[in-house]
């Protein structure tokens, strides 16, 4: 099989990983993989069954009944398929964000999803975003970037994004949610959110999207001919 390139982008919730990764994937012709969406699908599945995301036994009992599939449409948009049903929109709520964060702490969940993520990277050049891509999923990734911004900036961006879509948004509540997820994601014992030793840190607090894209391309160009 031909050698594939992989770009791992990790960082806390709301750092802009998916917006940036999507744009870069399009430009470079890479497959974009949003791994958070996979955890969200697991959380949504368990939620429908009424299983608490903290219930280890319940999670272990039902996880085998879930079949998760990632599909891409003609525009390259990632769709999450849960037991044959497209749940890409349903998994985007604030409630599922929190539940995905809790569900992702279980070893059984992380084990099931690990091979799935690695398989995609074996077959395609990928830009994969998440929390543990550079540390656990793709430790040999060609490029590793840790994208972050202050919690306040991330909360402001998220609030503005929701308001622009005509949805309700409360800055203080969003900030609290982000801080809680930061804590949960970085304090779990297995594959916590942390910067890989060989990842390049990029703080986007004072950058706009164009600025972040330029900075990312510079980092990538040091490892891959663009
Ligand atoms: O990126 P996101 O906000 O859609 O991710 C939702 C949750 O999934 C996040 O709070 C933690 C978990 N997650 C993870 O544990 N590991 C990943 N690689 C991606 C997401």
CA 10 to CA 133: how far, in whole Å?
6
* Per-residue pLDDT reduced to its tens digit, 110-158: 999 999 999 999 999 999 999 999 999 999 999 999 999 999 999 999 9
What residues does 166 pair with on adjacent strands? none
Asked whether the whole model's pTM tops 0.85, one would answer yes
Mean pLDDT, to the nearest integer, of 31-40? 97
pLDDT at 1 over 80: no
pLDDT at residue 226, as a whole number? 82
Mean pLDDT of 203-211: 95
The CATH class, in words, for 6-220 is alpha beta
**Averaged confidence pLDDT in the chain:** 95
The set of protein residues with a Cβ atom below 6 angstroms from ligand 1 is 13, 35-36, 39-40, 97, 100-101, 104, 130-133, 181, 185
Sequence spans of domains, the chain: 6-220
Q: How far, in Å, from the CA of 107 to the mean position of ligand 1?
A: 14
- Rounded to whole angstroms, how far apart are CA atoms 68 and 84? 8
Whether the Cβ atoms of residue 193 and residue 131 lie closer than 8 Å to each other = yes
**In angstroms, rounded to a whole number, what is the distance separating the alpha carbons of residues 126 and 137?**
12
Q: Read off the tokens for 159.
A: 């609030």
Protein residue with its CA nearest to atom 2 in ligand 1: 36
Full DSSP string of 135-201: III-TT-SEEEEEE--HHHHHHHHHHHHHHTT----HHHHHHHHHHHHHHHHH-SSS-S---TTPEE
CA distance 112 to 77: 23
pLDDT given at position 60: 97
Question: pLDDT > 70: what percent of the chain?
Answer: 100
């Amino acid at each position: 099989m031909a050698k594939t390139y992989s770009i791992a982008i990790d960082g806390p919730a709301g750092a802009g990983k998916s917006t940036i990764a999507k744009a870069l994937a399009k430009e470079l012709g890479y497959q974009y993989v949003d791994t958070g969406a996979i955890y969200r699908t697991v959380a949504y599945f368990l939620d429908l069954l009424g299983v608490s995301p903290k219930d280890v036994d319940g999670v272990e009992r039902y996880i085998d009944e879930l079949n998760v599939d990632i599909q891409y449409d003609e525009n390259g948009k990632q769709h999450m398929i849960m037991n044959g049903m497209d749940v890409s929109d349903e998994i985007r709520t604030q409630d599922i964000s929190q539940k995905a964060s809790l569900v992702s702490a279980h070893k059984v969940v992380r084990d099931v999803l690990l091979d799935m993520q690695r398989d995609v990277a074996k077959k395609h050049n990928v830009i994969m975003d998440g929390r543990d891509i550079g540390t656990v999923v793709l430790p040999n990734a060609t490029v590793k970037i840790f994208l972050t911004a202050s919690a306040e900036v991330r909360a402001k961006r998220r609030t503005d994004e929701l308001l622009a879509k005509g949805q309700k948004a409360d800055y203080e509540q969003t900030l609290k949610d982000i801080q809680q997820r930061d804590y949960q994601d970085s304090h779990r014992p297995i594959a916590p959110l942390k910067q890989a030793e060989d990842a390049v840190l990029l703080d986007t607090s004072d950058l706009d999207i164009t600025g972040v894209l330029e900075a990312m391309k510079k980092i990538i160009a040091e490892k891959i001919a663009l």
